[in-house]
Structure 1
Amino acid sequence: MTQKIDAYTHLSPPGFLDFLEGLSGSPHVFRKLFANTPTLVDTDQRLRQMDKYGIDSNVVVPLPWIEGIRGVYDDPALSVKAARLCNDGLRMVTLAHPGRFHGVALLPSAAGPQQMVSELERSVEELGLAGGVLFFGPTVKPPDHPDYEPLYQKAEQLDVPLWLHPCRPGSHADYPEEKFSKYLIWQTLGWVTDSSVAMARLVFSGVFQRYPDLKLITHHHGALIPTFAKRMQACYESFEECSGIDLQTPIEQPYIDHFKKFYCDTASLGFEPATIQLACDFFGVERVLFGSDSPMDSRSGEIFTPETDRTVAALKLTKAERQSIYGGNMLQLLSRGRKKKQKKAAARTAPQRPVRRAAGRR
């Protein structure tokens, strides 16, 4: 029987939004969204919806993110406090519903490398969370910033994935002379652009060369990369060969092939088999994860969950390939981290062999 694991959903731990509002002293921009999306905060309603659509478990990326509140994001102590509160809340959710939710840790990305590493390690090894999430966009530091280097190294050592998520706010204008983004451009087009930019920065900075076993999960079916892969490669070749531009990268041509080292979800926000088929063809079925972005639709998950399921069911795949997307690929990612933790625990509890003393010594 095919196990269905929704690898990219959202959930807000109990009291987390209230905590952030208390720190900022004003209503959070997500407050109305939360009021109209009950399955974002109510796990009982969420479980009923999952059962309705045959979803065995949800991987939950927490909302809201720290990067959305500058006063918290820029304050190392507050950002660490917020991340710990959020992740402790996720732990409570996973304990209350074993096997149904897999939490993804919020990380204090502006607090500094050691704080990020410590919180990822605590979240994985003490709280049992599945990995961590990083939010990227034009208002926060880029993913190839040196501060992230220890985090990528630690994620590889722990053998857990890092989920990537765009975070461009509506207050980031489309043009310098304007005060905010118009017509929801920041969300509809800005987010997929920002995800693509983050992927390019990671690829060309050589992150996968330094950490070949690092698992990075991109949102929204790999954003623009599968659609514009041929354009990107043609531009790389043309500008290097004809214009003499040096991209100053440690990776080798063809550059586009390095983008295939990411994992991607199937969140297309509607019935889009052609779009997801393109992602499968680019990344390979073994790197595509069933993910809906639920419950972030206008009906609190009643659109994204079934439409994403219908999309995956319509793909031109073998039964085994479809099962891999629905749950097999995510199970492998989840189990790898668990196996490493089990080995460490076994090593700590293994009986110590007596030390042999050399002849003639006491």
Structure 2
Amino acid sequence: MPIETAKLIDVHAHVRLEATNGAAGVHGPEHGVDENGQPWYRVGNYRLSGVRHLNSPFTDPELRLRRMDRAGIDFQVLSASPLNYFHHIDVPSAVSFCRRHNDALAELVGRYPDRLGGLAALPMQDPRAATEELERSVGELGLWGAATGTEFAGEPLHSPEFDRLYEAFVRLDVPLFLHPAPAGIDGPPGDPALKRFDLDVIIGFAAQETIAVATLIFGGVLERHPRLDVWISHGGGAAAFTAGRLAQAGMKRPWASQSMKKDGAFEEMLSRLWFDTHLNDDRALALLTQVVGPDRLVFGTNFAGWDQPEDGHHGAVPPALAGNARRLLRKDRDRNDKAHNGGTP
């Protein structure tokens, strides 16, 4: 079902592409089977064991589509696996990987245009290279935006060095999806306490998402780029739960800008961001909806991941989320009609 008429659109779904094997040079990725017949997948010094790569929904589009059908998902927007962001490796290897990934992703979604769309991978350790790859991926390959991690070698999210990239998102009229990556995949190892009980992907991801929200707002990114659309995975981490404390910091802490001093300023900026609904808890989703409003939520699953419920998603899915996704992804008919006729979309 094409996205223009889809009733359930999943915007949080990762893909691993066979064409990218070895695309990052010594960093991989590569996969195989050990002496006990167990599959493994390697990125840099990180090795994932016991998780099937081949013949899985992550790599086989026919298996993906069948599982989508069982879950009632009409359309899915694919982005690189967090294992494959490569935001901390040398620039040439990162550029090589992203180009090959984006070429292969464009070819894949081009074979299934009524079921799949794609987001580009970007070499974020080099803002100029990231801008060039976004322009190529959208302008030449037809991808719908980009997906990146939240932390990179070099500059933070709010650095002026990224302004040229954010300007390109606005000029190309496409959104940015932010999703964390496990610490130590190809960069710093992170807090050792997060290595207990897989907390790096449970609590660590939520921390990265919350930090990204605060950085975009306190760092002035949304003020400098008022037409930039960013959506953040897993409901923005703990952003809704800590919104009051963050707002108070904006009014009281000495580093905060004058624009953050007025009552409601933080909440206004928070409601400019978009969030997927993959929270695994209706109570958390209710709070997020109350804090940011229902118009800024889009449906997500982390499709085929460890935290996707067996029935495909957690709880009932409001029909309005599909319309929200179309607006975010620039596939809304009313919006496109206005743009075509010279109106303000």
Is the pair's TM-score, using the shorter chain for normalization, greater than 0.5?
Answer: yes
Which position in structure 1 is the counterpart of 2:312?
306
1:130 aligned onto 2:144: yes
Contact 2:175 2:328 in 1 (8 A): yes
Q: Does 1:93 find its partner at 2:147?
A: no
Q: Does 1:16 align with 2:20?
A: yes
User: Offset at 1:255?
Assistant: 3.8
AA aligned opposite 1:102: G
Q: Pairwise CA RMSD of aligned residues? A: 3.2
Gaps of 5+ in 2: 31-41
- Aligned partner of 2:119 in structure 1 is 104
**Separation in structure 1 between the aligned mates of residue 229 and residue 153 of structure 2, nearest angstrom:** 24
The answer to whether the aligner puts 1:165 opposite 2:182 as a matched pair is: no
Answer with 1 or 2: which has the greater Rg. Answer: 1
Matching residue of 1:256: 266
In the alignment, the residues of structure 1 paired with residue 330 and residue 324 of structure 2 have an alpha-carbon distance, to the nearest angstrom, of 10
Q: Could you tell me which of 314, 322, 325 is aligned with 1:330?
A: 325
Shift in Å at residue 19 of structure 1? 3.3
Amino acid at match of 2:77: V
Correspondence for 2:163 among 117, 136, 149 = 149
How far apart, in 2, do the equivalents of 1:59 and 1:188 lie?
A: 23
Comparing 140-149 with 93-102, which one deviates more in the overlay?
Answer: 140-149
Unaligned residue ranges in structure 1 (runs of 5+): 314-321, 347-362
Percent of residue pairs bearing the same amino acid type: 25
Q: Quick check: 2:9–2:325 contact (8 Å CA) kept in 1? A: yes
Q: Retained in 1: the 8 A contact 2:147–2:177?
A: yes
Find the aligned partners of 1:52 and 1:337 in 2 and give their Cα distance: 26
Supply the distance in 1 between the matched residues of 2:54 and 2:306 (Cα, whole angstroms). 10
AA of the residue aligned to 1:59: V
Hey, what does 1:46 align to over in structure 2?
64
Find the counterpart in structure 2 of residue 291 from structure 1: 300
- Alignment coverage as a number of residue pairs: 319
Q: Report 1:343-354 matches (<5 A).
A: none
- Calculate the TM-score normalised by the size of structure 2: 0.81
In structure 2, what residue type is equivalent to 1:53? A
8 Å Cα contact 2:87/2:152 also seen in 1: no
Q: Output the CA distance in 2 between the equivalents of 1:60 and 1:116.
A: 19
- Report the alpha carbon displacement of residue 183 of structure 1 after superposing the two structures with TM: 2.9
State how far apart, in whole Å, the 2-side matches of 1:341 and 1:107 are. Answer: 26
Give the Cα separation in 1 of the matches to 2:335 and 2:97.
28
What amino acid sits opposite 2:283 in the alignment? A
Q: Distance in 1 between matches of 2:143 and 2:300?
A: 18
Change in CA separation of 1:218 and 1:151 when aligned onto 2, cut-off 3 Å:
same
Say if 1:19 and 1:2 are closer, same or farther in 2 by CA, change over 3 A: closer
Show CA shifts across 1:120-140 (max 9, x none).
111112111110112113866
Separation in 1 of the partners of 2:85 and 2:106?
21
Q: What pairs with 1:162-311 in structure 2 (closer than 5 Å)?
A: 162-170=176-184, 172-174=189-191, 181-237=195-251, 239-240=252-253, 245-248=254-257, 250-253=259-262, 254-257=264-267, 258-268=269-279, 270=280, 272-297=281-306, 303=309, 306-308=312-314, 311=315
SS class of match (1:196): helix
Distance 1:149 1:30, change over 3 A: farther
